[in-house]
Every structure is written in C-alpha cells, then in structure tokens.
Amino acid sequence: MKTQLCEQFGIEFPIFAFSHCRDVVAAVSKAGGFGVLGALAFSAEQLQIELAWIDEHIDGKPYGVDIVMPASLAEGAATATKEQLEAMISQRHRDFIEDTLTKHQVPPLPEGMQGTESLLGWVPAGGQSHVDVALKHDIKLLVNALGPPPPDVVERAHKAGVPVAALVGSPEHAIKQREAGVDIIVASGTEAGGHTGEISTMVLTPQCVDAVAPAPVLAAGGIGSGRQIAAALALGAQGVWTGSVWLTTKESDLQPAVVQKVMHATSRDTVRSRAMTGKPARQLRTGWTDAWESPESPGTLPMPLQFMATAEAISRIYRAAENDPDSPGAQLAGTPIGQIAGMMNSVRPVRDVIFDMVEEYGEAVERMKAMGM
Ligand SMILES: Cc1cc2nc3c(=O)[nH]c(=O)nc-3n(C[C@H](O)[C@H](O)[C@H](O)COP(=O)(O)O)c2cc1C
C-alpha cells in the first residue's frame, strides 16, 4: 500500500481520516494513517486547545486540519454581522422549526444552557481564524471544503511549508482547485458522508486522476474496508480519504444513541439533504430530514442561514436523545454519514479498524494477483 504520499508525509498507509474528534485524529496517525481534525465545530480558542492536545498525544506523528471556507454563500452573508444574518431568517422558518420540535416533544434547553454556536466557521472570518490557529501548529496538511480556498490561504500555507488539499465532486472542480494552487485533490463521491455532489466515487476518481495528473488524488466516499482501498488505488488514487467509518470507533465522541442508529442503519438509510447546512450533505435519514421534505416545510435556507436557524434545535434534539434514546425527540437525532453506514456494525478501536483495512487490502491484492491481474 506504499504510495508516493506515504513518502511525502512519512506515513505507513495512505489512509487519511477526517474527524471532528481529536482522539480519533491522534489514534489514526499513531496507527500509521494520517488524521485530519475538522475545525468547523470549534471556535478559534477551542481549536487552539484541541490542537495543543493533539500535539501532546500524537507521538510526533503527522496530522492535518480541515477548514470550511465556502466559495458561495447567501447574498451579502460574507460580510454581514451575526445580527444581520439572524435577521435574514424568516419567522416562517422559525415557526416551522419550533412546530417540528413541539410535534416530537423536544423540550427547550434548561435555563442558562447554551446551544451549539450557530455561526461556527461557515463565514470567511471564521475560516480565516481557523487558518491562523492551524498554522501556528506543526500541521502537515491543510484541507479545505466547499470550493477553492482563498488565494491568501494557499499562499500562507505554502509559505509555512504546508501542502493544501481540497474536496471536489467533479473533474471540472478538480481542475479549478489545481489552478488555485491546491496540491492534493480529494475526489469525494456521492456516497460520502457530509457535503457531496452527485457523481459516484467509482466514476469520479479516475476522472479526477486524469484531469489533474500528475498531481495526487485521494479517493473519498464509501471507503471503509481494505477491498475498497484496493479499488481506490486501482482507480489511480494515491490514497483514500475517509470520514464515516471513524464515527463508530471506540475513540469517537458521537452520542451513544446515534451510534446505535448507525449500527442498525443499512446503506439505504442515508439521504442527501439540505436540512443541515443549506447545501446537499449526506446524513442519516431521520424525522428531521423528512420534516424538511414534507409539504409543511418552508424549504431550506442558503448557507450559512440554515445551520444558524437550526443550531439550537439540533442541540435540543441531541439532549433529548441523550436523556432518553426512545423518546419521540430522539427520532430526530442524526449525523452526517455516508452509505457505508450499512457496513458499520460494531464499535472497535481505531487501531483495529486500520489493521483490518490493511489486512483485507493485502488479501484483495493477493486474490487479484492469483487471477493474473
Ligand atoms: C460526521 C461527518 C462530518 C463531516 N464534516 C466535514 C467537515 O466539516 N469538513 C469537511 O471537509 N468534510 C466533512 N465531512 C466529509 C469528510 O471529510 C469525508 O469527505 C467523507 O466522510 C468521506 O466519505 P465517507 O463518509 O464515505 O468516508 C464530514 C463527514 C462526516 C461523516
């Protein structure tokens, strides 16, 4: 499984792992892969704390940081204040959200308890503050999602000797990213958890490989086993970029009620929905995603308004699920996850997942060799 990226990053296996959870990131890198921390969920101050923790616990192994700097936002959102953004959310949307919660008996947050910060890194200022923090640490890769990173971000990363990767859903986007100075393309198929396009990994990966050769491509979307890694490398990728598979590891901080849902989910139980962020993102299908598709739905809002409008509701839903996984409110609890949800049936340590991937990869390659291929 040695590819050019293994040498470049000094890693044993070209298995890149996206996670919002620092324990997963450190465990992946320590097991020979490459952990990448998703910065989106953190304030700049909290990101600093997470990265300091990783620096201390990763035994000198390399890791990266993933930021989200959307190239397109609701009109005027890029320069608006939080108050101005709040004012763009209609009363109809607010009422629909509250009605949906009431229908499912989701209680309000207790007095004084804060919901998730509603703006996070969705706007340029948030993304830039994440970059500032990330580049103060010894990161080995900066990754961006939702369009080409701003030129100054690429320039600053390169000045610091940090290569830049970016997620794409089409070969045309891959070319645009290369023109923007991005070094590594992550070809993310529609099977993937989180924001995705419409082209499958099987079809997208070789197109991106050809479009940007000789630049390296990581295949993403639907990869959680050694056979799938073998397939990705056969398609010309230099490695794999994974996300969903880590959600059910021992180190993951995904809420237990949602872990149980994932363990029982089939590959048909995910949906590409705008309900979470306003852009299509694959996630578990729940009462919440169904509500946004229902005739009563006012329709989703453009980024970053949809997340802002729903952030407190999501905190309430998670709290309801935590307090009672069988409550009506718990039916609304979900997570971004890809179609490999149907293959995630047990909770295992990160290290075991990586070793099983490596073993199964070896068996797949041997089988192909025996076939004279
Ligand atoms: C829970 C979850 C959250 C995600 N959040 C982000 C994110 O904040 N930024 C990002 O670039 N990608 C995000 N992704 C997408 C992953 O980076 C990755 O492309 C995807 O998980 C790969 O497909 P897979 O889920 O089939 O492994 C997320 C994925 C999941 C499962």
For 86-107, write each residue's pLDDT tens digit: 999 999 999 999 999 999 999 9
Q: How far is CA 74 from the centre of its chain?
A: 21
Whether residue 160 is contained in a domain is answered as: yes
Range 231-244 average pLDDT: 98
Does the beta carbon of 34 lie inside 6 Å of ligand 1?
Answer: no
Query: How far, in Å, CA of 6 to CA of 8, rounded?
Result: 6
Percent of the chain with pLDDT over 90: 90
- Any ligand 1 atom below 6 A from CB of 40: yes
| pLDDT, position 181 | 97
- 205 within 8 A of 235, measured Cβ to Cβ: yes
Question: Is the pLDDT confidence value at 252 over 70?
Answer: yes
In sequence order, the β-bridge partners of residue 164 are 142
Q: What angle do CA 229, 57, 334 make, to 5 degrees?
A: 55
- Residue 344 exposed, middle or buried by CB count within 10 Å (0-12, 13-18, 19+): buried
pLDDT of 152 above 80? yes
Tell me if 133 is assigned to some domain: yes
Percentage above 70 pLDDT, the chain? 99
pLDDT value of residue 116: 75
**Residue 336 domain flag:** no
pLDDT of residue 372: 87
Domain assignment present for residue 274? The answer is no
Which three-class secondary structure state does DSSP give residue 19?
A: strand
Please name which of 23, 20, 25, 3 lies closest in space to residue 12, comparing C-alpha atoms: 3
Q: How far is the CA of 226 from the centre of ligand 1 (A)?
A: 19
Q: Answer yes or no: is the C-beta of 192 below 6 A from any ligand 1 atom.
A: yes
What is d(CA 245, CA 243) in angstroms, rounded to the nearest whole number?
6
pLDDT band at residue 27 using 50, 70 and 90 as cut-offs: very high
pLDDT of 117 above 80: no
Mean pLDDT in residue range 195-223: 98
What's the average model confidence in pLDDT over 177-198? Answer: 98
- Residues 323-332 have pLDDT tens digits of 999 999 999 9
290-343 pLDDT, tens digit per residue, is 999 999 999 999 999 999 999 999 999 999 999 999 999 999 999 999 999 999
Query: What pLDDT score was predicted for residue 361?
Result: 98
CA of 38 to the centre of ligand 1 (A): 8
Read off the pLDDT band of 113 (50, 70, 90): confident
Q: Tell whether ligand 1 has an atom less than 6 A from the beta carbon of residue 344.
A: no
- Report yes or no on 314 lying in a domain: no
Instruction: Enumerate the H helices of the chain as residue ranges.
Output: 4-9, 22-30, 44-57, 82-87, 91-103, 124-134, 151-159, 171-179, 201-212, 226-234, 256-264, 287-293, 305-323, 350-370
Task: Assess whether the previous peptide bond of 304 is cis (omega < 30° from 0).
Answer: yes
Widest CA span in the chain = 67
Give pLDDT, residue 118.
67
Local confidence band at 124 (pLDDT 50, 70, 90 cut-offs):
confident
pLDDT score of 115: 77
| Structural domains in the chain (count) | 1
3-class secondary structure, 274: coil
- Residue 65: which CATH number? 3.20.20.70
> What global pTM score does this model have?
0.97
Give the pLDDT confidence of 61-86 residue by residue, as tens digits: 999 999 998 888 889 888 888 899 99
Structure tokens, 317: 């839903």
Mean pLDDT of 8-33: 98
Helix (H) / strand (E) element for 240: namely strand 239-242
Q: What is the mean predicted confidence (pLDDT) over 259-265? A: 97
- The secondary element (H helix, E strand) that includes residue 183 is none
Residue 286 lies in a domain: no
Backbone angle region of 80, left / alpha / beta, with phi > 0 → left and psi within -120 to 50 → alpha = beta
Q: How far is the CA of 337 from the centre of ligand 1 (A)?
A: 7
Give residue for tokens 């890149």: 16
How far is Cα 12 from Cα 3, in angstroms, rounded to an integer?
9
Residue type, 60: G
Q: What is the pLDDT of residue 122?
A: 77
Confidence category of residue 57, pLDDT binned at 50, 70, 90: very high
- Cα 178–Cα 307–Cα 320 angle in degrees, nearest 5: 130
Protein residue with its CA nearest to atom 15 in ligand 1: 194
Distance 108 CA to ligand 1 centre (A): 29
State the Cα–Cα distance between residues 357 and 349, nearest whole angstrom. 13
Q: Determine the pLDDT at residue 329.
A: 96
220 in any annotated domain = yes
Query: Residue 176: pLDDT above 70?
Result: yes
Mutate to test the pocket of ligand 1, among 18, 240, 282 (most ligand atoms within 8 A of CB): 18
Structural domain boundaries, residue 69: 4-73+122-252+353-370
Residue 112 within any structural domain of the chain: no
